[in-house]
């Protein structure tokens, strides 16, 4: 058998934290093997050490301890020799946005000294593989997120590397583009025998790899084929029926506080539960919280959660009570959108969109990049004037309504826009003042936000230096200071790991229960399960709209599998695109 | 009331953002003071050292007398006594001498005979400014020689002599007019950039949307952006003023009240221009470029280095819409001349008008570009 392409033993890397002089153990004794011609996935929450490990292999960082051989070279000693033979695509690949697709390719080919003969053979392959052939003249900055990633991949592959390192290649990419990217990567492995190491926080992607390494807080929790991870949860996975008239979401929130439960997610109208305790300890209990539980096949995600929960403390219960309860329900919808149109020049970004959201509902806008979600969202928040149609939020058009109407809204922008040079406390103070909070109430609300989102130890940290998960918490805290009646969240969980996403949804669910109306856009199809209603958008139109159960019925699942939200999404979008194409 | 509190909150946030960042903080205070020192020493049209070469073919007492007058000024330094015409061009070409004085061989004889004699002075015209100044100095030396010669030889003096007095700047030091002019110039550069960048930065980082969905009204955002920039501008102007008085010891003749009133109007106009730029730009890079493109003509057409009256008429019209032109005039006149608000009216009202126009335009553009 050919020797592994990468052998790392007991790798250690410590970073000095900026500001407070503390240390961050990014890697704490990790060993890894990457076998030739295989796809290996690094999976773990934010800050697990995935990027650090990849950067060590690319010769961009030197380890503090342990040994590492890449293609039988020590990358810390001879980085250039390693870099000449590998392809590395960082999280934010350096595309030149003002150059066209072709010019970007040429540039990377020049940088790597690819000859004209090689190019004439390589380019058509790459173009065919990435389906970018039609867009060679388009500026890279004008491509959608998924297409940018494909172009980045093509640029990485202009010369044939022996090992391909991908750092979260699908972050912020919609499900369709994500699937296309994976088809490309799997094709490279199967047909061309390329060795690929990719990091990801999507568990369904990790499941497609030949081997996975589960990283958490700088330690490897498991390294095996994906089925090995799934087996960890053997006998622990159950499905609970909340019963008619009950909400799966609310049951799930309750179950998460149960010490016997490791994980609970709403899934197809039921709640999937992973039970704590050893399966071999006794006969599987078939009731939890007084409800009958049916054993189900464990999934990769279940095993992953069991591994993670073995180390991470069970998160304390979320108590997100509103201090000023919302006024009694008004009749009629809180958000009303009718025949909404937005044109930019002769391009119609939003075309005839209508929907309604009732008080206390969670409404999800799903769609691929460029579907018109964000444009719709910006119109709802009053950031863009519509070209046609009507739009009412809490009975008024936010754009023409005054400050008082905006004071009832909370908004978390994509990428959690905060003032990076200000500390957490200063950011909260500014937004509290912006919403007219003063004196004792102001202090009280800021303290609440700091406690609620576990920001105590970060209160004096510049928010630009917070880890990703904490940025999201701060953005949420700032948006909730004034107890808004309506909460707008634009891709709030983008880039967040499974643990952070669960904590986020628990808070949202609790707020909705108290009457806060929530409108959210997301890329994660499983998250649609938390919504009361969803609308799937593509090409500026709403393609399907309804409860998660209604949407799921639109899917054509593979034989013997239960239809997932992702299947439904892809079926709906592809059917619409086929109709438009014919 | 609510509105005022929001403006204060935004102003506070802007100042915090500037002051917290070590680099931003230093960039605001150090450069104006350093530039001010630099200009004070480096940017001067005064010549206090003129190296010159002599080709004396006359070798007479008279030529010696003339040359000793040059050496006696302390301004002219004789670097060589030459023998041939060729050496003259060598010395000028190599920039060893700024002037070359050539005295013809009949110089002494002709003066002795009571006639007129010529002296040729060659100047290095590659820098027209210094050459002109040096020639002027040389001329006054020769003039002094003429007067004394006539008196010594019983001839009547020249019919008209000039008795020159420079008001407000008795020694005609460039520094005295340059540094007060810098109060406006340096302040303008930083105020304009700071304002233009602050909105662009928020656009680029996505915080602008966040700001717009809060109860802030566009006018409040503008005020909250304008106030900190104005404050920073006034503080910078004060820094330059302090350097002028405490370091360069240029006596301040006017009233601070008048000066600061003029400065506030000027900074308001500069902030207005900055806000217009920021309303047009989506990225910090655009805002930076745009500011630079504006600052160059503003500085050139301000009258700081070259008099506006020397410019072609068509360009002079442009200076009427240049806030810096008025600011420099106000600063120099209040500082050196002690001018009061009454005589400064022709400078003050255009600034007020410009502030009104740019701020209105910016607020209109904010409302309509927020789409």
φ, ψ dihedrals at A336, nearest 5°: -135, 120
Say if B365 falls within a structural domain: yes
pLDDT in tens, B105-138: 899 888 888 788 889 999 998 888 888 888 988 9
Express as a percent the part of chain A with pLDDT over 90.
Answer: 25
CB-CB under 8 Å, A426 with B210? no
Backbone φ and ψ of A162, nearest 5° = -90, -20
Q: In what order do the strands lie in the sheet with A6-16?
A: A23-34, A6-16, A65-70
Q: What tens digit of pLDDT does each residue of B311-324 get?
A: 889 888 888 999 99
B215 and A435 in contact by Cβ < 8 A? yes
* Mean pLDDT, residues A145-171: 88
Inter-axis angle of helices A498-513 and A300-309, to 10 degrees? 90
pLDDT at B253 over 50: yes
Nearest CA to A366 out of A128, A93, A565, A133 is that of A565
Kindly state whether A435 is in contact with chain B, defined as any CB-CB distance less than 8 angstroms.
Answer: yes
- Reply yes or no on whether the pLDDT at A317 is more than 60: no
CATH number at residue B101: 3.40.1710.10
Residue A413, chain B, CB below 8 Å: the answer is yes
The H or E element that residue A15 is part of is strand A6-16
Collect all residues with Cβ–Cβ distance below 8 Å to B296 and sequence separation of at least 6.
Answer: none
Average pLDDT over residues A365-371: 80
Domain membership of residue B348 (yes or no) is yes
Give the DSSP per-residue string, B315-371: HHHHHTT-HHHHHHHHHHIIIII---HHHHHHHHHHHHHHHHHHHHHHHHHHHHH--
B74 with B90, same domain: the answer is yes
Pick the closest to residue B9 from A437, A401, A446 (CA basis): A437
Question: Which residues touch A54 (CB under 8 Å, ≥6 apart)?
Answer: A42, A88, A165, A167, A197, A199
The total of structural domains in chain B comes to 2
Does the structure show a pLDDT above 60 at A18? no
DSSP symbols for B258-306: HHHHHHHHHHHHHHHHHHHHHHH-SSHHHHHHHHHHHHHHHHHTTTSSS
Q: Is B158 a member of any domain?
A: no
B213 to A414: CB separation less than 8 angstroms, yes or no: no
Evaluate whether residue B264 is within a structural domain: yes
Same structural domain, B181 and B311: yes
- B58-to-A113, B13, B52, B62, B97 alpha-carbon distances in Å: 74, 77, 18, 9, 21
B17 and A421 in contact by Cβ < 8 A?
A: yes
pLDDT at residue A283, as a whole number: 47
Q: How far is A484 from chain B (nearest CA, A)?
A: 11
Q: Are the Cβ atoms of A417 and B205 closer than 8 angstroms?
A: yes
Task: Write the residue in B6, B206, B370 that is nearest to A434 by C-beta.
Answer: B6
Residue partners of A426: CB distance under 8 A and separation at least 6: A419, B13, B16
Give pLDDT tens digits for A220-242.
988 999 999 888 888 888 888 87
Q: Are residues B210 and B347 in the same domain?
A: yes
A434 with B20: Cβ contact below 8 A = no
From chain A, pick out residues whose CB is under 8 angstroms from the CB of B214.
406-407, 431, 434-435
User: Looking at the structure, do residues B111 and B210 belong to the same domain, yes or no?
Assistant: no
Closest A-chain CA to B218: A403
Question: What is the average pLDDT across B302-330?
Answer: 89
Dist CA A541 CA A516 (whole Å):
27
**Which residue range is the domain that position B203 belongs to?**
2-43+173-370
Residue B164 falls inside a structural domain: no
> Do B181 and B237 share a domain, yes or no?
yes
Q: In what order do the strands lie in the sheet with A39-43?
A: A86-89, A163-167, A195-200, A39-43, A211-216, A219-224
Residue A100's contacts (CB-CB under 8 Å, 6 or more residues apart) are A136, A137, A138, A139, A140
Indicate whether B211 belongs to any domain: yes
* pLDDT of A468: 66
| Percent share of chain A, pLDDT over 70 | 91
B137 shares a domain with B278: no
Q: What is the pLDDT of residue A322?
A: 74
A404 touches chain B (CB under 8 A): yes
A446 pLDDT band (50/70/90 cuts)?
Answer: very high
Contact A406 B210 (CB under 8 A): no
Name chain A contacts of B14, Cβ cutoff 8 Å. none
- CA atoms of A378 and A491, how far apart (whole Å): 13
Please tell me whether residues B353 and B212 are part of one structural domain: yes
Q: How far apart are CA B213 and CA A380, in angstroms?
A: 10
A434 vs A437: CA distance, rounded Å:
8
Do B116 and B206 fall within a single domain?
no
Q: Are residues B242 and B295 in the same domain?
A: yes
**Which strand (E) or helix (H) includes residue B193?**
helix B174-205
Residue B55 shares a structural domain with residue B179 = no
Report how far apart, in Å, the C-alpha atoms of B283 and of each of A546, B199, B289 are. 39, 9, 10
For residues A326-330, average pLDDT: 66
Mean pLDDT of B175-183: 87
Query: Which of A403, A411, A427, A519 to mutate to test binding with chain B, by most B CBs within 10 Å of its CB?
Result: A403
pLDDT at B309: 85
Q: Does B354 lie in the same domain as B208?
A: yes
Q: B181 and B300, same structural domain?
A: yes
Angle formed at CA B339 by CA B296 and CA B169, multiple of 5 degrees: 75
- B-chain CB neighbours of A426 within 8 Å are 13, 16
- Is residue B281 in a domain? yes
- Residues in chain B, overall count: 371
Best interface-test mutation with B: which of A434, A488, A494 has the largest number of B CBs within 10 A?
A434
Asked whether A571 and A554 are in contact (CB, 8 A), the reply is yes
Q: For chain A, what is the mean pLDDT?
A: 84
Q: Give strand pairing partners of A70.
A: A6, A73
Instruction: Using alpha carbons, list the distances in angstroms from residue B183 to A178, A474, B238.
Output: 58, 42, 8
Bridge partners (DSSP) of residue A275 are A261
* pLDDT 10s digits, A257-275: 777 778 888 887 788 888 8
**Which residues in A lie closer than 8 A to residue B210 (C-beta atoms)?**
411, 413, 417-418
Nearest-CA distance from B206 to chain A in Å? 5
Whether A441 and chain B come into contact, CB under 8 Å, resolves to no
Minimal-distance CA residue of chain B relative to A342: B371
Give the distance from CA A420 to its chain's centroid.
Answer: 22
What does pLDDT average to over chain B?
A: 87
CA distance A10 to A27: 9
Interface A–B counts its CB contacts (< 8 A) at: 78
| B165 within a domain of the structure (yes/no) | no
């Amino acid at each position: 058998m050919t020797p592994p392409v990468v052998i790392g033993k007991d790798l250690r890397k410590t970073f000095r934290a900026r500001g407070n002089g503390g240390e961050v153990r990014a890697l704490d004794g990790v060993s890894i093997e990457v076998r030739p011609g295989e796809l290996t996935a690094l999976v773990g929450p934010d800050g697990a050490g995935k990027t650090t490990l990849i950067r060590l292999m690319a010769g961009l960082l030197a380890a503090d301890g342990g040994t590492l051989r890449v293609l039988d070279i020590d990358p810390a000693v001879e980085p250039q020799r390693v870099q000449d033979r590998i392809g590395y695509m960082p999280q934010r690949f350096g595309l030149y946005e003002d150059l066209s697709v072709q010019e970007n390719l040429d540039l990377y080919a020049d940088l790597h000294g690819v000859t004209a003969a090689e190019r004439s053979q390589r380019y058509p392959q790459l173009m065919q593989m990435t389906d970018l052939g039609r867009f060679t003249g388009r500026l890279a900055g004008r491509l959608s997120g998924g297409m940018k990633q494909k172009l980045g991949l093509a640029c990485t592959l202009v010369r044939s590397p022996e090992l391909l390192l991908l750092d979260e290649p699908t972050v912020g990419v919609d499900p369709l583009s994500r699937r296309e990217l994976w088809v490309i990567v799997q094709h490279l492995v199967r047909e061309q025998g390329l060795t690929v190491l990719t990091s990801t926080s999507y568990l369904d992607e990790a499941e497609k790899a030949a081997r996975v390494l589960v990283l958490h807080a700088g330690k490897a929790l498991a390294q095996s084929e994906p089925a090995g991870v799934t087996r960890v949860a053997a006998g622990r996975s159950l499905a609970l029926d909340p019963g008619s008239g009950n909400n799966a979401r609310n049951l799930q929130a309750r179950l998460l506080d149960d010490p016997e439960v490791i994980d609970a997610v709403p899934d197809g109208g039921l709640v999937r539960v992973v039970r704590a305790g050893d399966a071999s300890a006794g006969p599987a209990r078939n009731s939890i919280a007084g409800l009958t539980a049916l054993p189900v096949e464990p999934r990769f995600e279940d095993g992953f959660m069991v591994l993670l929960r073995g180390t991470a403390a069970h998160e304390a219960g979320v108590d997100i009570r509103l201090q000023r309860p919302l006024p009694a329900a008004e009749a009629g919808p809180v958000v009303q959108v009718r025949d909404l149109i937005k044109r930019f020049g002769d391009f119609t970004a939003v075309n005839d969109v209508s929907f309604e959201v009732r008080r206390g509902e969670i409404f999800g806008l799903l769609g691929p990049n460029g579907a018109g979600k964000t444009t719709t969202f910006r119109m709802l928040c009053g950031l863009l004037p519509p070209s046609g149609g009507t739009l009412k939020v809490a009975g008024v058009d936010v754009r023409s309504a005054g400050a008082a109407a905006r004071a009832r809204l909370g908004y978390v922008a994509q990428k959690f826009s905060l003032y990076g040079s200000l500390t957490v406390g200063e950011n909260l103070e500014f937004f509290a003042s912006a919403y007219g909070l003063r004196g004792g109430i102001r202090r009280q609300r800021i303290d609440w936000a700091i406690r609620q989102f576990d920001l105590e130890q970060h209160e004096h940290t510049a928010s630009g230096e917070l880890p990703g998960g904490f940025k999201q918490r701060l953005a949420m805290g700032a948006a909730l200071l004034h107890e808004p009646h309506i909460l707008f969240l634009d891709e709030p969980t983008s880039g967040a790991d499974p643990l952070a996403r669960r904590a986020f949804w628990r808070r949202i669910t609790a707020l909705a229960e108290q009457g806060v109306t929530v409108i959210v856009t997301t890329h994660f199809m499983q998250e649609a399960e938390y919504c009361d209603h969803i609308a799937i958008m593509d090409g500026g139109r709403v393609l399907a709209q309804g409860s998660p159960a209604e949407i799921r019925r639109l899917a054509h699942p593979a034989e013997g599998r239960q239809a997932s939200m992702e299947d439904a999404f892809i079926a709906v979008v592809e059917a619409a695109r086929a109709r438009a194409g014919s | 009331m609510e509105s005022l509190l929001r403006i204060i909150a935004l102003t506070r946030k802007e100042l915090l953002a500037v002051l917290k960042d070590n680099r931003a903080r230093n960039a605001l205070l150090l450069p104006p003071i350093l530039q001010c020192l630099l200009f004070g020493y480096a940017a001067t049209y005064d010549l206090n050292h003129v190296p010159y070469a002599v080709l004396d073919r006359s070798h007479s007492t008279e030529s010696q007398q003339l040359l000793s007058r040059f050496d006696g000024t302390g301004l002219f330094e004789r670097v060589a006594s030459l023998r041939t015409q060729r050496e003259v061009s060598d010395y000028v070409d190599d920039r060893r001498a700024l002037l070359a004085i050539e005295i013809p061989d009949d110089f002494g004889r002709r003066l002795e005979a009571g006639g007129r004699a010529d002296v040729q002075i060659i100047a290095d015209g590659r820098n027209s400014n210094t050459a002109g100044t040096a020639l002027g100095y040389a001329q006054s030396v020769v003039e002094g020689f003429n007067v004394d010669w006539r008196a010594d030889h019983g001839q009547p003096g020249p019919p008209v002599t000039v008795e020159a007095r420079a008001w407000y700047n008795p020694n005609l030091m460039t520094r005295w007019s340059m540094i007060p002019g810098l109060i406006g110039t340096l302040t303008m550069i930083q105020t304009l950039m700071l304002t233009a960048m602050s909105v662009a930065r928020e656009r680029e980082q996505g915080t602008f949307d966040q700001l717009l969905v809060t109860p802030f009204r566009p006018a409040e955002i503008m005020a909250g952006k304008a106030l900190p920039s104005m404050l920073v501008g006034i503080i910078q102007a004060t820094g330059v003023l302090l350097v002028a008085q405490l370091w360069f010891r240029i006596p301040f003749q006017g009233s601070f009240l008048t000066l600061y009133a003029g400065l506030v109007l000027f900074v308001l106009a500069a902030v207005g221009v900055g806000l217009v730029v920021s309303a047009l730009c989506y990225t910090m890079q655009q805002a930076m470029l745009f500011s630079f493109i504006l600052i160059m003509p503003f500085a050139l057409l301000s009258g700081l280095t070259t008099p506006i009256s020397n410019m072609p008429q068509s360009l002079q019209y442009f200076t009427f819409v240049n806030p810096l032109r008025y600011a420099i005039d106000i600063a120099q006149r209040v500082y050196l001349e002690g001018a009061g608000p009454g005589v400064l009216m022709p400078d003050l009202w255009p600034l007020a008008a410009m502030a009104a126009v740019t701020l209105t335009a910016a607020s209109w553009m904010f409302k309509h570009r927020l789409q």
